[in-house]
Each structure stands twice: as C-alpha cells, then as structure tokens.
Structure 1
Amino acid sequence: MRRETAIRRRTPMTTFPSRPTGWALPFGVGVATALVMVPLALWAGVRLGTLSSNTVRAAVPALLLVGVVPPLAVVGMEAWVIRRLGAAPGRTGLAVALALGTQVLVLAGAIGLHASARRPGDAALLTGVLAVLLPLGVTGALRARGRSGAAALRASRASLPLCLVLLGLPGGADAGCPERSLWPTQDWASAPLPAGHEPALRAFEDHAFTRKEPASERKGIRTDGVLILHRGRLVYERYAPGWTAQKRHLGWSMAKSATNALTGLAVAQGALALEDSICKYVKATRESACAIQVRHLLEFASGLDWQEGYENGPLQTSSVLAMLYGEGHGDMVAFITSHVQRDAPGTSWEYSSGDTTLLAAVVGAAMRPRQPEGWEWRLLFEPLGVRSAVWERDGKGVLVGSSLLYATPRDWAKLGFLFLNDGCWEGQRLLPEGWVAQSTAVSGPLRQKRLYWDPGDVQGWQLWLNRRVPGVQEGKPWPHVPEDAYAMRGHWGQSVTIIPSLDVVVVRMADDREPGAFELDAFLARALALVGQSP
C-alpha cells in the first residue's frame, strides 16, 4: 500500500507535454493569419499615410503599423492554437524576435526594390512572402521548448534566400511608377497657398479674371476657371460667373491628348503596334492612305492635304469644320482618307484634327475585338475617377478624338495628373513604360518639314512642348516656364499644363475669342509665382 502511494506521488500532474506534439496546424494558422493581417496592415498603413501632408509624420506610424502588427498577430495566433492542442508554447520571446526581424528584413528589401503597397501586385507578392517566412521562424521557436532554439534560427536564416528570390520576381516590385501619398481618384485634397501669397494672388487674378466690357464683344482675356495643383494637392481654384466646379467645359483640342492616352492603352493591351498600317483596322477611301501608320498619326505626319482652318479663316476650304459640322460628320474616316496624299507619310509635320480623329478610329477598331463597348471609360476614365467625361461620336460611332470632349475642370486636371505621373495611377501602370517620355519628345517629322507652322508650335505626340528645337526654334515657346513643361491645349484658350520638375499642374478653361489677347507664358509665370515656384 505504501509502495502504491509512493508511485502515485511520482506521477507528473501537469497536463502539458514537454513540447508541442505537432507543427502542421500551428504553421497553417500562422500562414492564414499572415494572409489576413499583412494586407490589412498595408491597407491601414496607406490610409494612415494620407492623413498628413508631412511625409515623415505620416510615414513613421504607418511603418510601425505594418512592421509590428502582422508578426505579433502570427505569434499570438500560433501560441493560442498550441495551447488549444493541450501543449505549452516554447520560446515565445524568440518567436517574437524572429517574427519582428523577418518583417523588418522583408520590408527593407521591398523598399530597396521600390515596391509599393499601393500597387496590388506588389502588395500581393509581399503578402505571399510574409505568409511563408513569418510562420517558418515562429513555428520553430514555439516548438523549441527546453531547447536552444537553434533550429528556429537556422530556419529563419534559410528563409533569407527565399525572401530575396520572391521579392525579385519579374513584375513584382518595381513597375517604374512614381510614389504618391495622395491620389485624387475620389476628389482632390486641398492645401493652402504659401504664406505671403497675397501680392502674387492679386497680380494673378487681375491678369486672369479681369474682363473687358462690353462682355458681348468677347474681347481680351476671358478665363472661365483655373485650377493649380502643387505636389498632388489643389492649392488654387476659381471660376468666373456662370461656371462652377461641377460644370463640364469643352476642351476642344485637349481631346487630342486624351486620344494619345487611349492609344497608349491599346499598345499596352497588345491591340496594335505603332508600325501598323491604318488599313489593318479601317477602310480608307483612297488606297494611298494605307501607307499611313499609327505612329504617323501620333506625330501629325500623315501627309494628307488637310486644311486646319477655323472661324477666322475661309470657311469653305476648312477641312476641320467640314469634318465636325459638315459633309464629313456622318463618316469621318471616309472623309479624312478622301484627302489627297500631299507628302509621303512620316516626312512632314502639319497640325491636323483629321490625323487625331483618324487615330481614334484606328484605336477603337483595334480594341473592338478585345473589349466591349465603352472600354475608353472602363480603362481610362474610371480608374482616374473621371466621372464627368462626355465625348461626341460621328455618324458611324467613332469618337471625335480631335475635339469634342467635355469634362469638369477637376477631371481635366486628372488627365494632366496621369501624364505627370508617367502614365501611372495609384501605383498601377496604365500607359506603357516610356510612353510619356516618347510623347514629350519633339516630333521627328517636325524637324524635317513643317507646313502652316507658327513659332512656338513645338509638338510631341498630341502634346505641346516647351522645348528648344535646334535649327528650327532656338528659344523656348514659354520663356518663363521650365523647359520640361508640356501641355494639353485647345481652341479659345483651353490648357492643362504639366511641369514635372516643379510637380505642378495648371488647368485653364476659357473663352478667348480675340486673337493674340492671351499668352500662355505670361499666365503660367503668374501662376507659378502664386505657388512660390520659379523655373
């Protein structure tokens, strides 16, 4: 009896084994926790980063959130599961240290590779990497009860090559998109003008918004609205009587730059190539037009004998007026390609609404087999948050790519912001890499031969440039503005000017009817002074 009692006293009373009996379930829970908590922390970090205009003040708490919450959550959930299995967690302190160290290492690698939490592809890859690496070290440490934890450390060190391989996968980290803490997809965030701006404000508004009387004569500078964006924020906005932020404004030839963007989207989709003949996609009236390539239309180099005359010239000989309002409106492609081939395509430059409208038709036909109707809105306008756009079509349903696009000034600004950010939006590349750089290089045919050209008409691909052209024009078109500036421009004074070196976009909607009354250079110089910038 005494011996039996002694044996009973030597029997251990604890309900926990000396170490966890399995690793699969805790590891699986750790993976699941990481798959939930990493994207949630990334999303919360991005949102937190937009709450302050001070980059450091916003970045520090955002990085702490992303760096601390997921690893602690994985440790906590795995430890809880091990207890539920009737075991005692091992070296919890080591697990926390390994998890935090792994998280810091992966985040540092991602930052070094220019990954962005705003790019879904980058966020997904980062989540996948951490969903593997975090549980590896944590599970090993929590199972290391009574041991040195060397196995856990070896597992953590072995995960470093895996981390580097995964983060280095093509297309995962660096898509070449600029980083932004704010995007105006929903609406523009605002910021105040610099201190002491009052004299510059008076000078700017006296210049831009003082109208000559009587108004019925439409003389002088007639500004309908101005927006100035600096570092991604709206710092100035004003409208003339009768205009508001919600009212659409016709952009006239600013539509040409939107057609440039649609062309870039089609190239990115693989729907067409710049060297393709237009006759691969549309039926030309004259067979000679089949020598015209997509690139020639972007460059205003179709070589068609086009007459770009407006209301101040002979109306009967104007090709553009006939296209928009006369015989060509029913079938613009047929009308444009009925023009005589004056020069070989690609050998001369002439500003032509016909070229751009033909380009819109080609792009639309190329995309039709791949995308349902309305792709222009789904792929371009909707990602930007442009909700006001109305674009007229001809009798055949072709977008009037040269002219008839209406949008609110704030939405016109978003198109400019797309170009400013190299064709990217919220970390996603919409236009092909290098597209904006090509679009803002001086058109090759312009250097060769120019027809109906005025000094200052420096063009890229459907964009106006502030570039010197040696042998053609030695000075900048806008002398008081940085040389890297370029603009979307339209009839009667419309403009969206993009200045990458100053991180500035200036939008002007107008009704200038008096030739020579408005000068873009003088207007932009005053706008830049208002935000405290100078070339």
Structure 2
Amino acid sequence: MSARPLPLGSPSAQGVDASGVHAFLDAVEAAPDIEPHSVMVVRHGRLVASGWWAPYTAARPHLLYSLSKSFTATAAGLAAAEGLLDLDAPVISYFPEFAADVTDPRSRAMLVRHVASMASGHRTETLERARAADREELVRGFLRIPPDGDPGTVFAYNQPTTYTLAAIVQRVTGQPLSAYLRPRLLDPLGIGEIAWLRDRAGRELGFSGLHATTDAIARLGELYLRDGVWEGRRLLPGGWAAEASRAHIDTADGTPEGALSDWQLGYGLQFWRSRHGYRGDGAYGQFCLVLPEQDAVVATTAATVEMQRLLDLVWTHLLPAFRPGPLPGRTDEDAALRERLARLALPPAEGRPAPPDRAPEWSGAVFTPRGGRCAGLPKLTEAGVTADADGWTLTLTEDGHRLPFRIGRTGWREADEPLPAAVSGGWADAGALAVDIVFLETPHRLTVTCSLPDGTFTASWRTPPLHAPGLRAMRAPRYSG
C-alpha cells in the first residue's frame, strides 16, 4: 500500500529550537566513533526534522538488529488481546511436545511474561548454549538450559527469550510475525515493505533481523506515545503501551544510582527504560526513543559501538531543543535546518585516480587474502581489479561467487546488484588501492585494501555483522512465494 506521509510541522511551530537540532547534527558528525545514517524527530504528532546521510536514503530498509524486539512485543500484545496468548501461562504449555525433554522445575515454571521481560532466571546470554543443545529447535534447546534463579527474579539480556516469545506468537497465530502484523499494525500505520530474517526452522527470528525504514521506527514510536491510537483508531489494546514500557525487572545489577547508564534503568516487555522516557534499541545505534514528557519521538539509524555516546548526544542537544510552546519569528532558522537536512552525506573514502603509469599492471590484477584468510569473512578468497571505459571494478570472490563492485570516480557509486551497496575509494599510492563498500540495507561498511607489490588484500568491517558475516547476507532478505 502507499503510505501517507507523516504530518509535517515546522520546528518552531511545534516548539523545537532548530539550533538544538543543528547542535546534535554537529556533534554526531564530529564524533569519530559514530557514523550516522538517519534521524527523524516527531513533536506533537508532527514530523519536524528528518534526514538521511547519503548514500543512505529514506526509502531503503535498514537492518534494525534488536530494535526488532519491540515489534515482536507488539505482536505479542496483539495476540494477547485476541485471546491467542496468555502472558501468565507457562512457556512449556505452548510446546507440549517438549514436555518430556524439559524437566527442570524452573524451566517448567517459566511464564510467557518472563521471556517477554528478559527475566527467564538465567544470569547470562544463552544463545550459543541453546544452539549447541538443539541445532534444529532453538526453543527446546533454550528450555533445556536450567535457569540460575527463579524466573522473574533476575535480568539477563538473552536472545532465546525473545526468540521463544516470537515462536509462541507464530505458533498461536499460524503466521510469520510480519504476516500477522501486516493487517493489524503495518498497514494501518502506513508502513510499507519490511523483511525479517528467518532461521533454519523457517521462523522469523523475533529477537533481531527485521529490516525496515526509519519512517517505520518513527511510526511505531508515535503509536506507543499515543497509547496505541493512530489517527483516531485504536490499534493496540488500551494500556499495552504503558505495560510494555514500565520496568518489569531491575537491570542495575548493583551499580550505584549516580553511575547508571541507559541500560541499567529497568527493562519492560522488549523496551528499555531510559534516563528520559523509554526506547526500543538495536545494535550499532538503531533507536526508537519515546519521550512522553516532551511529547516527542526520535528515530535513528547508525553504525557505532558507542551507543551510550549517541544517546548522550540526544540528551545533551536534542532534549533541550524541545520547548514548552511555539517559537515565533524562526522562519529563517527552520529553513536553514531543512536545507541542511536535505544535503546530509557521509564523506566518501579518500583516494586518488589510478596512477597512469601503473594502470596496465592494476587492470586484471588478482589478490589473495593476506595471511591466508580474512578475519570475519572466512569464505572470502580472492579480490580482483579490472578497468574498462566506464572506470574500475573491484570483484570479490566469496565461496565461489563473484561479486563485482564498481568504484565511484568521485564520491559514492551506488548499485543494487550484486548487493545494495555504495562504493568509494581510490589509490593511496601507486601500489595500494583502498575501497569502502557500504551495504545500504545494513549498518555495515567493509574496507578492502589491495597491495600490488605482494599481491595480497585485506578486508575489515567497521562494525562486524552479528548475523551471518558473509557478504551475500548484507541485504534485506527476499522471500519467494
């Protein structure tokens, strides 16, 4: 369906000081450890600021990592309202075929509410142990790991809890999460195409893997801010937003109050409590910030391991920009912000054109991994460089598949094949080519450096993928049928 744009408003009319948004943009662009991809700010129900750092664009889906969890929780809330799921029922009751394998009394006492709030009783992440316990059925593998304490008494950020919640929703509805959410949430909100990674059992992961636009993040946040009502229509059961966003389990783990981070203020039903409001969040800076006191939502996508730093910049610069009333006489400031947001861009990788005297040596050159293999990309076996009338191409060979990436003459060169990516770079000197490949449906950037003198190459991730590290996985999944 064609999504109706979010209602627009000028920053000043909605009580947002444009200088605060400028300060936020300045700060994230100056931070060496933050690569911003997008930001959207909604105030009083109006979109007052939005921008994408090229080559990222508004229309492309972006891997949300654990922000996926908040969509999973929403599906669970809808299923509960339809009488398909009971938060206070034992998890094992939804998987009676596992009863003989799950004998630990704490595992059997675990409720749906406990897995929804990361309070299964385990004190650490169990994903790898659960996979090792059962390669074919992650829920069974998880339930076979005895909890360290009683369910509901201890917090651990634990992927199989959300996977189990997602598996329950998919079992009781008979549909993948995305299909179940489409008529109940996605279409009414005006959210277009999404895609969700599936596991070997065919289930959508639930705990990660959702690819959606920044606009979808903002719409989900606005729905929660409005207690589940969208354009006068109730989509979520009354009170669900408050229930999902309150602290169900303590996450401070003994940290003194004055030293608490935004991850130590309590966990709800797949939402985190924050120093201001609450949020859904995903690895590397995918945020849905819901700020009831400011009547605002902030959505971001990014690539950073310093997620607290990104939140700190929001609290330092954006939060003070929300004023109690309109700001008259700010037309020029609003226009300047709008113009800046329209021209946001990531700087391309540095590099000079091919050295003319060495171009014949470079065209057709083949390189092998330095040291015999590429860390993080074990199936990447070869790089080749070729030239034609349209410029230069870097071809990477992964597990026998050749992936050609055209190098931009200046700036980023975008293409959808072999993968949605943008490429920039060039020669550092006559013997070294360095190229950055930004995978546009993910937070990930790969730097490839080829050395002509020794015929080797290196490849390194700026932020390592948390799912399959292969290059061909660096896109939203496409399902057939």
Range of TM-score over shorter length = 0.5 to 0.7
Contact 1:331 1:394 in 2 (8 A): no
Taking the aligned partners of 1:427 and 1:364, their CA distance within structure 2 comes to 28
TM-score (normalised: structure 1): 0.53
Note the 1:187-198 alignment, pairs <5 A.
187-194=5-12, 197=17
Change (3 A) 1:205 1:360: same
Tell me the amino acid that sits aligned with residue 256 of structure 1.
Answer: K
Following TM superposition, by how much is the alpha carbon of 1:526 offset from its aligned partner in structure 2, in angstroms? 1.3
1:100-499 correspondence runs (5 A): 186-194=4-12, 197=17, 199-210=19-30, 212=32, 220-282=33-95, 283-284=97-98, 285-288=101-104, 289-304=107-122, 306-307=124-125, 319-320=126-127, 330-368=136-174, 374-444=179-249, 455-456=261-262, 457=264, 458-466=266-274, 478=275, 481=276, 485-499=277-291
Q: Provide the secondary structure at the position in 1 that maps to 2:284.
A: helix
Give the aligned residue type for 1:398: R
Q: CA deviation at 1:463?
A: 0.9
The aligned residue for residue 506 of structure 1 is 298
Cα distance, 1:529 vs structure 2: 3.5
Q: Which has the higher strand share?
A: 2
Distance 2:88 2:145 in 1: 21
Give the distance between the partners of 2:115 and 2:3, measured in 1 at CA: 30
Paired with 2:29 and 2:143, the residues of 1 have a C-alpha distance of: 42
* Alignment coverage as a number of residue pairs: 312
Q: Which 5+ residue runs of structure 2 have no aligned equivalent?
A: 326-481
Superposed displacement of residue 372, structure 1: 11
Report deviation, 1:327: 8.5
What per-residue deviation string (whole Å, max 9, x for no partner) do you get for residues 79-124 of structure 1? xxxxxxxxxxxxxxxxxxxxxxxxxxxxxxxxxxxxxxxxxxxxxx
CA distance in 1, matches of 2:31, 2:200: 38
Rounded to whole Å, the distance in 2 between the matches of 1:278 and 1:259 is 16
In structure 2, how many angstroms separate the alpha carbons of the residues matched to 1:446 and 1:199? Answer: 35
Report the Cα distance in structure 1 between the residues aligned to 2:227 and 2:9, rounded to whole angstroms.
Answer: 23
* Aligned-partner SS, 1:346: coil
CA 1:247–1:524 in structure 2 vs 1: closer, same or farther (change >3 Å)? farther
Question: What is the DSSP-based 3-state SS (H/G/I as helix, E as strand, rest coil) of the residue aligned with 2:309?
Answer: coil
Distance 1:193 1:334 in 2: 51
* Aligned mates of 2:282, 2:178 — CA distance in 1: 27
1:228 touches 1:527 (CA, 8 Å); kept in 2? Answer: no
Identity %: 28
Partners of 1:384 and 1:390 in 2: CA distance? 16
State the alpha-carbon separation in 1 of the partners of residues 43 and 230 from structure 2.
17
Q: Relative to 1, partners in 2 of residues 1:252 and 1:460: Cα closer, same or farther, differing over 3 Å?
A: same
Q: Which structure's relative contact order is higher, taking Cα pairs within 8 Å and 6+ residues apart?
A: 2
C-alpha deviation, 1:290, in angstroms: 2.6
Cα 1:281–1:391 change in 2 (3 A) is same
TM-score (normalised: structure 2): 0.59
Greater Rg by CA: 1
Maintained 8 Å contact 2:178/2:196 = no
State whether residues 227 and 234 of structure 1, in contact with CA within 8 Å, keep that contact through their aligned partners in structure 2: yes
Give 2:437's aligned residue.
none
**What is the deviation of 1:228?**
0.3
Contact between 1:306 and 1:354, CA under 8 Å: does it hold in 2? no
* Counterparts of 1:329 and 1:507, CA distance in 2: 36
The 1:413–1:322 alpha-carbon spacing in structure 2 relative to 1, beyond 3 Å, is farther
CA distance 1:290–1:239, change in 2 (3 Å): same
* Greater helix content: 1
